């Protein structure tokens, strides 16, 4: 394809995308297909010769779209939102066209320069303490964009591990690193995302997964007790991952309790706010991050709830040198003449290659303004409250979480099997899509406000589908 054809086909693609967005509500939210559906439809071998663009696009509509779960659909209420907006799509188009690789400052300077600027903007937008924002404050901290929250958690844990082992090595120079490693203990609550357990698995350290209170929060007393028990057995607590906005029910660990313990015990405190962190751009939600000044690292995903397309997971640390010490490998072919003065983001994460992810953050923040983004978040929260109020009026249901942001957890009075059947019949109908979670062994249904343009009508429609399905399933149980 040359630029002349791209000019035409590109415009057609923009039309296709705009039509897709405008008519998405007419599609089934979940696909009605079985595993392996695509293999039956596509040829076994790749084409030997170029194919016509029209034929390729026909196949998109005929074979690809039927296998899509439409996360931007107004009836999609599963997981958390998947950020999306036209400014963000356009930034990714431009970034794909530029097609450079920003692993170091020298590799494509503006990639790094813009990333440091938008990370400072964003850090200030969510009210992070100045220790996290040193690019402007001349401190030790700093922000970086990673591909996912899982990566943010993993690199934080690796940095904490490295800092602890280094200190232990200084105290016990003749003890093998492997022996020291076997003593390290990390902590999180049972409501923390599974990526914390995975990070510990990758880093080859032990992890204790602690019980929560009746609000699904990790309490300071629980953590303090676990740390004392482990110390008395000769283990070395080194890392706590707390969560603001858990995946299952959007509960919040109290940083004001956990933080002082981590400080006292000299333990790295990571704060994972993958979804809820976006809400902190609204000052009225900042009370949920009280105690953030105790954190050593913090992450949230604008690609969840700030209209930025995947991938864009932002993290900050109070000491960037601790992060890079764990990750620096510096071969000659990657050195450059500004290495001592410039940020080289390849030392802040796992992959070498880096996309121009800051561009979409910059486009989105400028296009909506902080005010516009706040309005979007607040509207989702208002809509979640609307659904909560409807559920509370119907005695067949119970609310299972504290509805603070855009997530409502509920269930039918009755056992887990009833609720499982209830949710699978809703999902099978293709009229609405939600996913379950387990809270203290109880099967609950998660409803998240996801669509960028969600309205009262969407909530009322969802409630209509939920109540109709409830009536049907409860009648079936009586028969």
Kindly state the smallest distance separating residue 278's Cβ from ligand PLP, in Å: 12
**Nearer to ligand PLP among residue 272 and residue 344 (C-beta):** 272
Q: Using the rule CB under 6 A, which residue among 189, 212, 301, 324 binds ligand PLP?
A: 301
Kindly state the smallest distance separating residue 251's Cβ from ligand PLP, in Å: 10
Burial degree of 64 (CB within 10 A; 0-12, 13-18, 19+): middle
Question: Under the criterion CB under 6 A, does residue 193 sit at the interface with ligand PLP?
Answer: yes
d(CA 271, CA 251): 13
Residue 197: how many CB atoms within 10 A of its CB? 17
* Long-range interactions of 383-389: CB distance < 8 A, separation 24+: 383/449, 383/454, 383/455, 383/456, 383/458, 383/459, 384/408, 384/447, 384/448, 384/449, 386/456, 386/459, 387/447, 387/449, 387/459, 387/462, 387/463
Question: Under the criterion CB under 6 A, does residue 272 sit at the interface with ligand PLP?
Answer: yes
Q: What are the beta bridge partners of residue 409?
A: 446
Q: Using the rule CB under 6 A, which residue among 105, 216, 239, 275 binds ligand PLP?
A: 275
**Nearer to ligand PLP among residue 164 and residue 247 (C-beta):** 247
Distances (CA, A) of 194 to 187, 207, 211, 360, 392: 12, 12, 15, 28, 31
Are the CB atoms for 437 and 446 separated by under 8 Å?
yes
Kindly state the smallest distance separating residue 14's Cβ from ligand PLP, in Å: 28
**Nearer to ligand PLP among residue 275 and residue 397 (C-beta):** 275
Helix residue ranges per DSSP H, 233-343: 255-265, 302-305, 320-327
Are the CB atoms for 477 and 470 separated by under 8 Å?
no
Q: How many chain residues touch ligand PLP (CB under 6 A)? A: 15
**Nearer to ligand PLP among residue 195 and residue 404 (C-beta):** 195
Question: Under the criterion CB under 6 A, does residue 314 sit at the interface with ligand PLP?
Answer: no
Strand 184-189 relative to strand 142-146, pairing: unpaired
Kindly state the smallest distance separating residue 304's Cβ from ligand PLP, in Å: 7
**Nearer to ligand PLP among residue 300 and residue 463 (C-beta):** 300
Are the CB atoms for 261 and 219 separated by under 8 Å?
no
Are the CB atoms for 113 and 362 separated by under 8 Å?
no
**Nearer to ligand PLP among residue 244 and residue 466 (C-beta):** 244
- Site pattern 125..164 for ligand PLP (x: CB under 6 A): -----------------------xxx--------------
Are the CB atoms for 345 and 112 separated by under 8 Å?
yes
Question: Under the criterion CB under 6 A, does residue 84 sit at the interface with ligand PLP?
Answer: no
Residue 374: how many CB atoms within 10 A of its CB? 18
Beta strands (DSSP E) in 82-140 are none
Question: Under the criterion CB under 6 A, does residue 243 sit at the interface with ligand PLP?
Answer: yes
- Site pattern 247..266 for ligand PLP (x: CB under 6 A): x-------------------
**Nearer to ligand PLP among residue 92 and residue 272 (C-beta):** 272
Kindly state the smallest distance separating residue 405's Cβ from ligand PLP, in Å: 12
Q: Using the rule CB under 6 A, which residue among 133, 274, 423, 462 binds ligand PLP?
A: 274
Q: Which residues bind ligand PLP (CB under 6 A)?
A: 80, 148-150, 193, 195, 243, 245-247, 272, 274-275, 301, 313
């Amino acid at each position: 394809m040359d630029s002349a054809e791209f000019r035409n086909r590109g415009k057609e693609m923009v039309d296709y995308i705009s039509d897709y967005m405008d008519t998405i509500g007419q599609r089934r939210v979940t696909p009605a297909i079985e595993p392996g559906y695509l293999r039956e439809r596509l040829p076994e071998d790749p084409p030997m010769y170029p194919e016509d663009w029209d034929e390729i696009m026909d196949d998109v509509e005929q074979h690809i779209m039927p296998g899509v779960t439409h996360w931007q659909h107004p009836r999609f209420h599963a997981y958390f939102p998947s950020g999306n907006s036209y400014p963000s799509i356009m930034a990714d188009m431009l970034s794909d066209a530029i097609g450079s690789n920003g692993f170091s400052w020298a590799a494509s300077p503006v990639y790094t320069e813009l990333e440091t600027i938008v990370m400072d903007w964003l850090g200030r937008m969510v009210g992070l303490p100045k220790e996290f924002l040193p690019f402007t404050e001349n401190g030790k901290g700093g922000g970086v964009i990673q591909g996912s929250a899982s990566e943010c958690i993993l690199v934080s844990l690796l940095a904490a591990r490295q800092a602890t082992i280094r200190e232990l090595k200084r105290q016990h120079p003749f003890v093998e690193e492997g022996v020291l490693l076997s003593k390290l203990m990390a902590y999180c609550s049972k409501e923390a995302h599974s990526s914390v357990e995975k990070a510990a698995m990758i880093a080859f350290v032990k992890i204790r997964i602690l019980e929560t209170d009746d609000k699904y929060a990790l309490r300071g007393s629980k953590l303090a007790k676990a740390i004392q028990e482990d110390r008395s057995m000769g283990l070395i607590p080194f890392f706590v991952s707390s969560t603001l906005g858990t995946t299952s029910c959007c509960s919040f660990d109290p940083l004001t309790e956990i933080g002082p313990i981590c400080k006292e015990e000299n333990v790295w405190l990571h704060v994972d706010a993958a979804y809820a962190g976006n809400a902190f751009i609204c000052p009225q939600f900042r009370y949920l991050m009280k105690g953030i000044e105790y954190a050593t690292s913090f992450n949230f995903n604008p690609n969840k709830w700030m209209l930025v397309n995947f991938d864009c997971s932002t993290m900050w640390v109070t000491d960037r040198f601790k992060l890079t010490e764990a990750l620096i490998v510096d071969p000659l072919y990657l050195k450059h003449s500004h290495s001592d003065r410039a940020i080289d983001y390849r030392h802040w994460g796992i992959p070498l290659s880096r996309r121009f992810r800051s561009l979409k953050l910059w486009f989105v923040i400028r296009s909506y303004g902080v005010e516009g983004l706040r309005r979007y978040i607040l509207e989702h929260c208002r809509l979640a409250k609307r659904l909560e109020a409807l559920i509370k009026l119907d005695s067949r249901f119970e609310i299972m979480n504290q509805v603070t942001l855009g997530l409502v957890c509920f269930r039918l009075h009755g056992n887990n099997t009833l609720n499982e059947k209830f949710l699978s019949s809703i999902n099978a109908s293709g009229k609405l899509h939600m996913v379950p979670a387990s809270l203290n062994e109880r099967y609950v249904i998660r409803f998240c406000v996801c669509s960028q343009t969600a309205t009262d009508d969407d909530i009322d429609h969802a409630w209509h589908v939920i109540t109709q399905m409830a009536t049907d399933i409860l009648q079936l149980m009586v028969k």
